[in-house]
Amino acid sequence: MTTLKTALVTGASRGIGRGVAIELGRAGYRVAINYAGNVAAADEALALVRAAGGDGVTVQADIASAADRERLVEEASAGLGGRIDLLVNNAGVAPTLRADLLEAGEESFDRLYAINLKGPFFLTQRVAKQMLAQEADAEGFRGRIVNVTSISAYTASTSRGDYCMLKAGLAMMTTLFADRLAADGINVYEIRPGIIATDMTSAVKDKYDQLILRDERGITPIRRWGRPEDIGRAVRAIAEDRFPFSTGAVFDVDGGFHLQRL
């Protein structure tokens, strides 16, 4: 049984999830690195977590699948010494094809619903039950949960309305679980990333380069792309219990994108 704290991070093979896993490694965590299919990327992420001072395991599982979610929790718990101190719901996908709101199809909606909202909801329900059965740690917590939403939870993009609606749903999921679990020693947080350089945004790099760097004022007051470690550092602060009296809190890690400016 390890004395290190433990985390399950979904979608941790690449992008933001990998950045989160590495920062948790720096904080001395053991991390279960979940991924959908890219085993080489997951192995690389684990090597980086170890190089940062942590340890962990990789677990393939499609969070849209009930059977996979069950196996994910079992394999992650076994690999982490029987305890999950932190769940980070990070895995998520963008629409394969952007479509105008008046033309958007059910196939895309159903795919995003299963991965971006239903999967995280039932995974959280399952992990929360396990956390409730865990002994409270030195800080008095049975666990912590972080949901990675998006500026799309409140920003309209009419060419990917499904993504926006489901991120808004994930934001409400944070509120619900925060309320339900507060008295049980489990705090729940939402992190709202802005525009972060990952594979997800690589297809629209030119558009965002223009908006962030070249337009006269810039779409974000802090004029640079976000990096996976920006999100990782925010999760690490939560993992190190810097916010013990906050639950349901929203962290805008977005270069100031959310500010209303005149």
By annotation, the residues acting in catalysis are 163
- Residue 59 or residue 104: which is nearer to ligand NAP going by CB? 59
The answer to whether residues 255 and 224 touch, using CB atoms and an 8 Å cutoff, is yes
What are the tokens at 141? 């917590």
Q: How far is CA 81 from CA 7, 8, 24, 29, in A?
A: 11, 12, 17, 12
CA–CA separation, 122 and 13 (whole Å): 21
CB of residue 180 to ligand NAP, shortest distance in Å = 22
Q: Which is nearer to ligand NAP, 34 or 108 (CB)?
A: 34
Shortest reach from residue 11's CB to ligand NAP, in Å: 3
Nearer to ligand NAP, 141 or 189 (CB): 189
Three-class secondary structure assignment of 53-78: CCEEEEEECCCCCHHHHHHHHHHHHH
For ligand NAP, the binding residues (CB under 6 A) are 10-17, 34-38, 41, 62-64, 90-93, 115, 148, 150, 193, 195-196, 198-201
Nearest alpha carbon to residue 109 among 97, 120, 91, 122: 97
Q: CB 140: neighbour CB atoms within 10 A?
A: 9
Cα(57)–Cα(34) distance, integer angstroms: 9
Considering the complex, state which of residue 85 and residue 230 has its C-beta at the smaller distance from ligand NAP: 230
Residue 13 C-beta: closest distance to ligand NAP, Å: 4
Pairing of strands 30-35, 55-60: parallel
CB of 226 to ligand NAP, least distance (A): 7
* Pick 37 or 140: Cβ nearer ligand NAP: 37
Query: How near is the Cβ of 108 to ligand NAP at its closest, in Å?
Result: 14
